């Protein structure tokens, strides 16, 4: 399989492991997640599902940042505790994952539960003389390494200038970043430097080091985290272990809303829970998968509508098949197709090839559209083969959640009565039953 690796300027990196270790940065739980936050989560979900589909075992870790200045601010605004804020939005986050049909990672770890691990990791960096304590704070010394900036292609010289970095007299270098922050504001923990909280950049790398006890194969996140967050994660692990934190850094593109970057700070976010309520989870997933994960997405009403129509087309196909089977107008078997138009296509093989070529989901979407056309041809021939099963298999791997309509006996009776009236050209009665069946979402 080949994936674009941000560490090597998005050159495709191949690997053929039989077990894969994946890490994805989770949310800071001071608010609900928006569609931009959901993009790396869907990317990780599709990647995990595909690995499992081709027989690769996955160990998938995600963090939750449940200690942060933004959480403190939200708690002060609502006049409740930080813990209450974090618990509310953790529960909301897990509900969003479920509603998006995202498989839960093997482990989701709130940062507050691993403070001893984080403190130990910071001590390791101090022992290796790549970090230092200054008036209760602890900083990483970026001049202690020659590798800083290799992930983001940023030079230290660019960052040292006062115009780029806030000058802090407690730092050795202007661009040194905090591993531990002395504070009495909000929840804090006792360390041998001060009472305080860890820096954000240290949380993820300490969890990875503790959970996996080795580098990960794939580190997932949005392109906005590439610098400084991922750059700072990487350099800490490299300094601590002399190894790369991740073999592959997988970054997804921005999600903008009407050509403006979607951001909570800009106030133009579209929350996942609201989108699902209005359009459904399948529409959101389809929308995200029609663009290669590395490319930006500009969310517009037209794009949402196109995705909604595409999902309706798939749902209509399944409704049509259920209706035809109920009326005994089509039979289904699991034979390979014998019609030469279908026989040469080998859709599952094509699907695997496309997914192993840097998760080419836009081409997979095109493949699905062709499969729908072929299945409709089979329906016209009154015989379905395993092409339908292959379509269902691909949709499941992509994380879509469709169900074939199942009819109870009274509904089946109505369907057959309606069909009888249509065939006998009793259109008045047929129209009456048609309205009933439309309300039951059968037609």
Binding residues for Zn(2+): 25, 204, 229, 233
Paired tokens of 94: 């897990």
Coil vs helix vs strand at 254: coil
Q: How far, CA to CA in Å, does 153 sit from each of 9, 76, 216, 233?
A: 9, 39, 21, 15
Paired tokens of 190: 């006792």
Binding residues: 25, 204, 229, 233, 264
Euclidean distance between CA atoms 93 and 29, whole angstroms: 8
Paired tokens of 213: 């006890």
- Cross-sheet strand order for the sheet of 255-257: 260-261, 255-257, 297-299
Q: What is the largest CA-CA distance in the chain?
A: 90
Euclidean distance between CA atoms 18 and 51, whole angstroms: 9
Q: Which residue has the tokens 């290799």?
A: 150
Euclidean distance between CA atoms 272 and 97, whole angstroms: 10
Helix (H) or strand (E) holding 321: helix 301-326
Q: How far, CA to CA in Å, does 76 sit from each of 83, 200, 263?
A: 12, 21, 22
Binding residues for ATP: 264
Helix (H) or strand (E) holding 130: none
DSSP track, 225-244: GIIIIIHHHHHHHHHHHSS-
Residues 6+ apart with CB under 8 A from 299: 35, 255, 256, 257, 258, 262, 270, 287
Euclidean distance between CA atoms 293 and 374, whole angstroms: 28
């Amino acid at each position: 399989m080949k994936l674009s690796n941000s560490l090597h300027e998005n050159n495709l990196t191949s690997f053929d492991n039989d077990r894969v270790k994946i890490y994805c940065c989770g949310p800071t739980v001071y608010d609900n997640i928006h569609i931009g936050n959901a993009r790396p989560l869907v990317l990780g979900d599709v990647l995990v599902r595909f690995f499992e589909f081709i027989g690769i075992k996955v160990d998938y870790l995600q963090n939750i940042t449940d200690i942060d200045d933004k959480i403190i601010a939200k708690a002060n605004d609502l006049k409740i505790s930080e813990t209450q804020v974090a618990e509310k939005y953790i529960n909301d986050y897990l509900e969003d994952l479920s509603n998006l049909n995202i498989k839960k990672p093997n482990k989701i770890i709130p940062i507050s539960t691993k403070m001893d691990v984080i403190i130990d990791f910071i001590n390791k960096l101090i022992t290796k003389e790549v970090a230092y304590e200054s008036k209760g704070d602890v900083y990483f010394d970026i001049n202690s390494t020659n590798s800083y900036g290799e992930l983001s292609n940023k030079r230290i010289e660019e960052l040292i200038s006062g115009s780029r970095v806030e000058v802090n007299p407690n730092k050795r270098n202007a661009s040194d970043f905090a591993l531990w922050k002395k504070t009495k504001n909000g929840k804090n923990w006792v360390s041998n430097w001060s009472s305080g909280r860890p820096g954000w950049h240290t949380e993820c790398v300490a969890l990875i080091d503790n959970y996996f006890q080795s580098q990960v194969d794939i580190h997932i996140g949005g392109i906005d985290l590439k610098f400084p967050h991922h750059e700072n994660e990487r350099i800490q692990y490299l300094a601590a272990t002399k190894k790369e934190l991740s073999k592959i850094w997988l970054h997804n593109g921005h999600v903008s809303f009407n050509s403006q970057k979607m951001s909570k700070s800009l106030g133009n976010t579209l929350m996942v829970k609201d989108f699902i309520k209005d359009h459904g989870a399948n529409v959101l997933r389809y929308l995200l998968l029609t663009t290669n994960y590395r490319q930006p997405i500009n969310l517009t009403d037209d794009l949402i509508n196109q995705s909604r129509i595409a999902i309706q087309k798939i749902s209509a196909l399944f409704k049509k098949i259920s209706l035809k089977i109920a009326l005994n107008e089509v039979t289904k078997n699991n034979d390979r197709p014998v019609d030469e138009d279908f026989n040469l296509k080998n859709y599952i093989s094509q699907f695997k090839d496309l997914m192993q070529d840097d998760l080419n989901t836009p081409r997979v979407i095109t493949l699905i559209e062709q499969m729908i056309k072929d299945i409709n041809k089979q329906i016209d021939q009154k015989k379905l083969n395993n092409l339908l099963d292959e379509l269902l298999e691909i949709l499941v791997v992509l994380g879509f959640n469709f169900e074939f309509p199942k009819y109870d006996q009274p509904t089946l009776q109505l369907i057959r009565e309606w069909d009888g009236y249509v065939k006998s050209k009793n259109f008045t009665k047929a129209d009456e039953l048609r309205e009933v069946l439309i309300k039951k979402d059968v037609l």
